[in-house]
């Protein structure tokens, strides 16, 4: 009877299940193993073992219960199989909270307690590259990255699922399955993948119009022949406290203010640079406040000299001085050169410290338009009263 069992097992056993990749921190990983042969009548057992491990037992399932007496301690409390595994032939093993140290070659075997035969083998790779994605609610789209080897087979299947907080089928790519039928309605018309994903191996998912409710843990599963790749992507959507249009407007306003400030600063520097600096000791007979122009002046043009208090220091118009418009403090103390020389400098007699300040020379056309302005800063040193 055992010989028949061995022969049938040899004929029905599967080849290597291939490579299974999963991220460390995933809730669990399923090591696939299916058996369609005859189950031993006496003491049937399913044994999961790992190459190079001592003791080698990862999980042992007997007909009525799990046997953990010889299980390796590192797997204690982390493995399980379906209770009716020996009746259904579903020998797949669930390994909870996979760790980097769980990476290795696993063997699924069936036994009658005396002899043991391998059904399939699985190479498990536990990775530590979980991806974190954060985006603002209201964005046009967000990309959930997932990549594998290029030039995938035509029969490759890619599943995007939401594992937390609730399980949902987000997107399914398969050349043999009607994808739309299995997709959760919440994601209808909101997901897409690259058209050339088989060629490039880029199986990233684009999720359109994301909202805060789309936050959660997504699983990208690639079925590539007998190899299985699983990539976990943690997505966090946050509400945008400041709308993007308002941010853009604020940036424009800041740029505008900087532009205006730069203009004012430039004009102020130009103004400072255009001010003549004149320094003289108190008690001198006179001081000259310079003002020259290249503008052609008519006889009716008007020249005004004013101080920092806007008092008229000197007025010249129609080829003559206008003392009646001059303030009393400066009367009989000022003289100007003739306008025909285009030298409009002002001579201020007997300057004192009270004359210290800014002076402005302004030329007006006969229509009252300002043709030119020049500024002079006078500093009279010493304490001398008028």
Residue 369: exposure state from Cβ atoms within 10 A (0-12, 13-18, ≥19): exposed
Rounding to the nearest 10 degrees, give the CA dihedral for residues 8, 12, 16, 20.
-120
Residue 252 belongs to some domain of the structure? no
Kindly report which listed range (163-167, 230-234, 302-306, 311-315) carries the lowest average pLDDT score: 163-167
Q: Yes or no: say if 134 and 179 are a contact pair by the CB < 8 Å rule.
A: no
Q: Are residues 123 and 138 both part of a single domain?
A: no
Q: Are residues 120 and 143 both part of a single domain?
A: no
Region 79-106 average pLDDT? 91
pLDDT-based confidence at 368, cuts 50/70/90? Answer: confident
Domain endpoint, select from 93, 127, 161: 127
Q: Does residue 198 sit in helix, strand or coil? A: helix
Q: Are residues 7 and 117 both part of a single domain?
A: yes
Q: What is the pLDDT of residue 137?
A: 82
Q: Are residues 101 and 182 both part of a single domain?
A: no
Residue 269 belongs to some domain of the structure? no
Q: How close are the terminal C-alpha atoms of the chain, in Å?
A: 136
Q: What is the CATH number of the domain that holds 220?
A: 2.60.40.10
Print the domain residue range for 69: 2-127
| CA distance linking residue 231 with residue 386, whole number of Å | 92
Q: Does residue 53 sit in helix, strand or coil? A: coil
Q: Does residue 154 sit in helix, strand or coil? A: coil
Domain endpoint, select from 104, 127, 150: 127
Q: Are residues 224 and 310 both part of a single domain?
A: no
Residue 247 belongs to some domain of the structure? no
Residue 251 belongs to some domain of the structure? no
Rounding to the nearest 10 degrees, give the CA dihedral for residues 326, 332, 338, 339.
-10
Residue 151 belongs to some domain of the structure? yes
Residue 268 belongs to some domain of the structure? no
Q: Yes or no: say if 211 and 235 are a contact pair by the CB < 8 Å rule.
A: no
Residue given tokens 């391998």 in the structure block:
118
Q: Are residues 89 and 174 both part of a single domain?
A: no
Q: Are residues 70 and 155 both part of a single domain?
A: no
Residue 196 belongs to some domain of the structure? yes
pLDDT tens per residue, range 123-144: 999 887 678 888 888 788 999 9
Q: Does residue 112 sit in helix, strand or coil? A: coil
Q: Are residues 139 and 111 both part of a single domain?
A: no
For residue 384, pLDDT beyond 70: no
Kindly report which listed range (225-229, 270-274, 289-293, 353-357) carries the lowest average pLDDT score: 270-274
Non-local (6+) Cβ contacts of 226 within 8 A are: 15, 16, 17, 18
Q: Are residues 59 and 142 both part of a single domain?
A: no
For residue 15, pLDDT beyond 60: no
- What is the percent of the chain where pLDDT is above 70? 88
For residue 165, pLDDT beyond 90: no
Q: What is the pLDDT of residue 93?
A: 93
Q: Yes or no: say if 209 and 190 are a contact pair by the CB < 8 Å rule.
A: yes
Q: Are residues 114 and 141 both part of a single domain?
A: no
What is the tally of structural domains in the chain? 3
Q: Are residues 34 and 14 both part of a single domain?
A: yes
Q: Yes or no: say if 79 and 28 are a contact pair by the CB < 8 Å rule.
A: no
Q: Are residues 291 and 350 both part of a single domain?
A: yes
Residue given tokens 């210290």 in the structure block:
356
Q: Where are the beta strands (DSSP E) in 194-319?
A: 205-208, 216-224, 227-238, 275-281, 286-289, 302-307, 312-317
For residue 362, pLDDT beyond 90: yes
Residue 364 belongs to some domain of the structure? yes
Q: Does residue 255 sit in helix, strand or coil? A: helix
Residue 78: exposure state from Cβ atoms within 10 A (0-12, 13-18, ≥19): middle
Residue 209 sits at φ, ψ, to 5 deg, of 50, 55
For residue 59, pLDDT beyond 80: yes
| CA distance linking residue 324 with residue 315, whole number of Å | 9
Please give the full DSSP string across 74-90, using - where no structure is assigned. GGTTTEE--TTHHHH-B
pTM for the model stands at: 0.43
Q: Yes or no: say if 104 and 19 are a contact pair by the CB < 8 Å rule.
A: no
Average pLDDT, the chain: 84
Region 103-132 average pLDDT? 88
Domain endpoint, select from 127, 162, 178: 127
């Amino acid at each position: 009877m055992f010989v028949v069992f061995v022969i049938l097992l040899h004929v029905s056993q599967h080849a290597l299940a291939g490579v299974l990749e999963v991220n460390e921190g995933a809730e669990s990983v399923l090591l696939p193993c299916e058996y369609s042969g005859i189950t031993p009548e006496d003491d049937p057992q399913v044994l999961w073992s790992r190459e190079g491990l001592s003791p080698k037992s990862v999980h042992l399932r007997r007909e009525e219960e799990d046997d953990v007496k010889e299980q390796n301690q590192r797997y204690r409390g982390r493995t399980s199989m379906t209770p009716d595994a020996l009746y259904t032939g579903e020998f797949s093993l669930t390994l909870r909270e996979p760790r980097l140290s769980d990476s290795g070659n696993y063997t699924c075997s069936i036994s009658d307690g005396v002899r043991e035969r391998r059904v399939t083998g699985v190479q498990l790779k536990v990775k530590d590259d979980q991806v974190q994605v954060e985006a603002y609610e209201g964005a046009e789209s967000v990309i959930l990255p997932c990549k594998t080897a290029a030039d995938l087979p035509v029969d490759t299947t890619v599943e995007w699922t939401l594992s937390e907080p609730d399980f949902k089928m987000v997107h399914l790519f398969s050349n043999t399955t009607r994808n739309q039928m299995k997709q959760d309605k919440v994601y209808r018309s909101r997901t897409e993948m690259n058209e050339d994903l088989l060629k490039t191996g880029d199986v990233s998912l684009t999720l359109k119009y994301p909202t805060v409710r789309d936050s959660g843990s997504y699983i990208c599963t690639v079925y590539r022949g007998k190899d299985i790749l699983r990539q976990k992507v943690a997505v966090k959507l946050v509400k945008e406290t400041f709308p993007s249009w308002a941010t853009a407007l604020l940036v424009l306003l800041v740029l505008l203010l900087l532009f205006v400030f730069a203009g004012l600063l430039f004009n102020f520097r130009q103004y400072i640079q255009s001010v003549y600096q004149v320094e003289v000791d108190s008690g001198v007979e006179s001081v000259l406040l310079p003002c020259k122009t290249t503008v052609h002046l008519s006889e009716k043009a008007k020249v005004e000299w004013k101080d920092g208090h806007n008092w008229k220091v000197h007025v010249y118009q129609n080829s003559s001085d206008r003392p009646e418009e001059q303030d009393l403090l400066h009367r009989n103390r000022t003289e100007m050169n003739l306008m025909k020389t285009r030298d409009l400098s002002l001579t201020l007699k007997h300057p004192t410290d009270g004359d210290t300040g800014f002076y402005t020379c302004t030329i007006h056309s006969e229509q009252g338009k300002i043709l030119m302005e020049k500024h002079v800063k006078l500093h009279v040193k010493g304490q001398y009263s008028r």
